[in-house]
Structure 1
Amino acid sequence: MALEVLDALDSARTQWYHLTTIVIAGMGFFTDAYDLFCISTVSKLLGRLYYFDPDSGKPGKLPTPVNNLVVGMALVGTLTGQLVFGYLGDKLGRKKVYGITLVLMVICAICSGLSFGSSAKSVIGTLCFFRFWLGFGIGGDYPLSATIMSEYANKKTRGAFIAAVFAMQGVGIIFAGLVSMLLSKIFLNYYGDAPPYSKDRVFSTQPEADFLWRIVLMIGALPALVTYYWRMKMPETGRYTALIEGNAKQAAADMASVLQIDIQGEQDKLAQFKAANDYSLFSNEFVRRHGRHLIGTMSTWFLLDIAFYSQNLTQKDIFPAMGLVDKDIEVNAIKEVFQTSRAMFVVALLGTFPGYWFTVFSIEKLGRFKIQLVGFFMMSVFMLIIGIKYEYLKNHSLQFAILYGLTFFFANFGPNSTTFVLPAELFPTRVRSTCHALSAAAGKLGAMVGVFVVQSYTLNGNLDRIQRAMYGLAITNMIGFGCTFLVTETKGRSLEEISGEDGGLDDGEVQDSGRLSSVNRQGTRSEAF
């Protein structure tokens, strides 16, 4: 039992509309990554500007609770936005709420840079307020972009397309480092250098530096602004229009226009689909069919993000140990931003970025399951080595940088990509966005553990604490390795076959190891080509 519009989507050859959808959805993730990670390049600058104490004998530094709020408030907003927009994506439609996320990102990125006030507390408080709502908009992009891409894609290349959307996160991280590096260099060239440190803040923290961090944050509004028009031109996904709104004729018309082929509406078949899938989220039937998978996607994303965000958001504290950045007392404020963003750019370019695209080009050959297992395992190995050899690596910056870069590579050629792909494929159409949101929100909860617990624990660079943190993250990744066995392989199958919406899948007979089930109660499965 299958609608012609769904068969047409599953078997469509790769064409221009697939590529434009990747770009349109991916630009949201480019913006997301830029906005979330650019704060790491300027957070030390905020401390030097607003928390300078001439009697301390040191440059200004954000107090640990303030640093956690500045870095972590966007993650709190992201978690909230994921849950809200994920639910609305299933209730109101993917397209209807898709543009709202970009509007929020544009407004709040600009307002974050305009966080003025008469005191340090008011400036930082305003910044945290707008960073929360910025994160709220970012959060909506996770379930909506993943769901839209999965519902537009054909089944032969679906995983690669969803992974390509998420790979734009890597491009955003690169640009966060690149933009901060270029702007800080321009400021250094235009306003001149300054002494590394002086009890007079003016000499070591140039007054112009207050403009630098604001410009870095506001630039995050540009890609979201450019993308808005194209998002509004996208039609609603054929699967939502047919299976949720119950309008097979409109779905056929929309997808016929996109695919440039003739498709029959087949309105009479919709009743069969609805009868086979008439159960609500968290009902006994949902738990029986999909409960194990939801636990698997939530737990693996939670565990992955503890390590991933601990890595990304604490880079500024690890780079001095690598020798990639001078100690704060040895360098002036703008130069510190330049060195931090340069190191972030290099690590992202050589370690983070390639991992995403290795996943894109290999996910349909290796499968989601194997890539996730290998990624978790290798992250654990390299973090364990860093923990054991940390004291030695502090004096051997090249080896340190290579090992550190490899943890990023296997995060992205591994669970950071696959935890995004799997929730977009495993669940039924009418709860797909919500289930992806629940999984992503679990991930952001893990990210908050990374920010508020791991980052606080290692903030002062204490050797024993950093080593113990690395050991803990290695164990966390191995638990994620084990939780991966709760999900199943999805490559090569239609979304309706995976979720059981077509009536041909008995979820109890799916093999947990991720191997494709050979079960089909109503005949042989059709292939993409």
Structure 2
Amino acid sequence: MQNTKLLHSIFNILKMESNNLSVLEALDSARTQWYHVKAIVIAGMGFFTDAYDLFCISTVSKLLGRLYYSDHVTNKPGKLPVGINNWVIGVALVGTLSGQLVFGWLGDKLGRKKVYGITLLLMTVCAICSGLSFGFSPKAVIGTLCFFRFWLGFGIGGDYPLSATIMSEYANKRTRGAFIAAVFAMQGMGIIFAGLVSMTVSRIFLNANPAPSFNENHVLSIQPNADYAWRIVLMLGALPAILTYYWRLKMPETGRYTAVIEGNAKQAAADMGRVLDIEIQTEQEKLAMFKSNNEYPLLSSKFFERHGLHLIGTTTTWFLLDIAFYSQNLTQKDIFPVMGLTNKPEEVNALREMFEISRAMFVIAMFGTFPGYWFTVAFIEKLGRFNIQLMGFLMMSIFMFIIGVKYEDLATKDNRWLFAGLYGLTFFFANFGPNSTTFVLPAELFPTRVRSTCHAISAASGKAGAMVSAFGIQKYTVGGEKGKIKTAMIILAVTNLMGFFFTFLVTETKGRSLEEISGEDGSKDKQMTSRGEREAVEQS
């Protein structure tokens, strides 16, 4: 008799209706429509701006060295000292890490929408000010540039957790991964345009040179014009941010934040019903029960029991990924001459060097970086986040290991296209792999109450890895010494292999609602209760 009652209890638990709210279920099951596309564009343009601002510095950093550190007596081309180069490249990453933590926390405390426009405004102002960097000495100009690029990075940092969280909370569960990945794929467009704009600006200044006796091999030729070139490139980063600002302000708060955090089911139903053109029940009474099951804070035993391993997994994999990814992007300028894709500094003038670096960066981005992002968008709902991340880390590790071991053979003029192909494949599998999935997973794994904060912590961990690249790995590539680049590639291969193994700390999220993944719908409590009931049956 007792066994029968226990079995009946288990049956009742299993058939209990979902505790999820109608507004959340409506978002999960809504058909894909124009508003989803508009949200992708609005959030994605932020990432376009982010990538442009972060990576355009690679196209102009050598020009800065030629302008401010060349020897005007011997006419010898100069370069930024290693320490200054690291700060010019890396200071925006320091700002990004700080901005991620601050805006991620504010996104959970004040709302996603309330702080979403601030990030773009900060990026716009600081991109313009970066191009207006002033001073009476090279150190003063570089110091001013670093100051504004720190705050530029601060604004960029806020875009990571807010864009990911907003897109995940708007999307339906069938296409959520593809939508979040599509937002992030705009980073690829930003990298392409960083190369294209730098290439175009440098070519315009080269063609505009009025001197009839212009000698292209004269390293200090047309330097006054070159000083305008890098400033224009940096300031143009403000344009996409300005164009998107108005539309960000028009976006309503996400239904999940309004319902779960603010406790206003009526407003959430009205906002999302208007956006999705459907009628949604308010269920204010059910909301109280829903909220009471999810009151536990980030620093609690319940959070670490449910999500601790996931948070460790998202932070470690993003940290390891960004060591490799930013090393690839920020050190291209030093590897291109070794590949033979650009001339040596002694052979060309300052603007010509900028043009060649930008052209090579554009080609690698167009045929290696960009396709990888959109392969992820196309296959993430078929292959899953977990499998794509494992595959990407493994393939990156293999190709970087081959480049490192065979570096002396590859770094010749005869094998430069093979070198470029292998190097391009590392970019492809970074983006058809962990560079995309490490952005997607933290937006899905954690509860609404701390989703933005957890994504921010994961992203900040990634930027810590990027800082390791900017201030550590770069010392192996500055100057393009073959032995040091070989060492760097082997280090990065090992780093990617570590990322492969840490991926096993996260779980697959495709096809499930955010509340089911995080346990906010009570499913995890039901599983624990069911497990306890089954154990009681077995013991009896």
What's the TM-score bracket when you normalise by the shorter of the two chains?
A: over 0.9
Counterpart of 2:513?
494
Using the alignment, how far apart are the partners of 2:253 and 2:312 within structure 1?
Answer: 29
Correspondent of 1:271 among 282, 288, 293: 288
Residues 1:195 and 2:212 are matched in the alignment:
no
Letter in 1 for 2:55: F
Counterpart of 2:79?
61
Give % identity.
Answer: 74
Using the alignment, how far apart are the partners of 2:233 and 2:314 within structure 1?
Answer: 34
Using the alignment, how far apart are the partners of 1:240 and 1:493 within structure 2?
Answer: 19
Letter in 2 for 1:256: G
* Alignment of structure 1 residues 426-465 onto 2, 5 Å: 426-465=445-484
Task: Report Cα offsets for 1:333-353 as digits up to 9, x if no partner.
Answer: 111111100000000000000
Task: Report Cα offsets for 1:343-398 as digits up to 9, x if no partner.
Answer: 00000000000000000000000000000000000000000000011111111110
**Structure 1 length as normaliser, TM-score?**
0.94
Letter in 1 for 2:441: L
Task: Report Cα offsets for 1:174-202 as digits up to 9, x if no partner.
Answer: 0000001111111111115843555xx64
Look up the SS of the partner of 1:371 in the other structure. Answer: helix
Counterpart of 2:237?
220
Look up the SS of the partner of 2:366 in the other structure. Answer: helix
Off by >6 Å, runs of 4+ in structure 1: none
Correspondent of 1:284 among 301, 324, 329: 301
Q: Any gaps of 5 or more consecutive residues in structure 1?
A: 510-517, 522-529
Correspondent of 1:139 among 146, 157, 177: 157
Cα offset, 1:153, TM superposition: 0.1
C-alpha spacing 1:507/1:393, structure 2 compared with 1 (3 Å): farther
Counterpart of 1:473?
492
Letter in 2 for 1:190: A
Letter in 1 for 2:215: P
C-alpha spacing 1:192/1:181, structure 2 compared with 1 (3 Å): farther
Q: Any gaps of 5 or more consecutive residues in structure 2?
A: 1-18, 534-540
C-alpha spacing 1:230/1:300, structure 2 compared with 1 (3 Å): same
* Alignment of structure 1 residues 77-96 onto 2, 5 Å: 77-96=95-114
Using the alignment, how far apart are the partners of 2:220 and 2:110 within structure 1?
Answer: 53
Correspondent of 1:150 among 160, 165, 168: 168
Cα offset, 1:271, TM superposition: 1.4
Correspondent of 1:401 among 410, 420, 436: 420
**Structure 2 length as normaliser, TM-score?**
0.92
* Alignment of structure 1 residues 122-521 onto 2, 5 Å: 122-191=140-209, 194-198=214-218, 202-203=220-221, 206-395=223-412, 396-505=415-524
Using the alignment, how far apart are the partners of 2:448 and 2:194 within structure 1?
Answer: 35
State the Cα RMSD in Å: 1.6
Deviates more, 1:263-272 or 1:295-304: 263-272
Task: Report Cα offsets for 1:74-108 as digits up to 9, x if no partner.
Answer: 00000000000000000000000000000000000
Deviates more, 1:277-286 or 1:76-85: 277-286
Task: Report Cα offsets for 1:36-95 as digits up to 9, x if no partner.
Answer: 000000000000101112456630110000000101000000000000000000000000
Contact preservation (8 Å) 1:59, 1:197: no
Cα offset, 1:231, TM superposition: 0.3
Letter in 2 for 1:493: R
C-alpha spacing 1:123/1:508, structure 2 compared with 1 (3 Å): farther
Using the alignment, how far apart are the partners of 1:45 and 1:212 within structure 2?
Answer: 9
Counterpart of 2:21?
3
Q: How many residues align?
A: 510
Using the alignment, how far apart are the partners of 2:34 and 2:248 within structure 1?
Answer: 16
Task: Report Cα offsets for 1:158-184 as digits up to 9, x if no partner.
Answer: 000000000000000000000011111
**Largest Rg, 1 or 2:** 2
Contact preservation (8 Å) 2:337, 2:480: no
Using the alignment, how far apart are the partners of 2:243 and 2:72 within structure 1?
Answer: 44
C-alpha spacing 1:248/1:454, structure 2 compared with 1 (3 Å): same
Contact preservation (8 Å) 2:345, 2:353: yes
Using the alignment, how far apart are the partners of 1:365 and 1:163 within structure 2?
Answer: 13
Letter in 2 for 1:404: Y
Contact preservation (8 Å) 1:243, 1:270: yes
Using the alignment, how far apart are the partners of 1:57 and 1:64 within structure 2?
Answer: 21
Letter in 1 for 2:389: Q
Counterpart of 2:63?
45
Residues 1:102 and 2:133 are matched in the alignment:
no
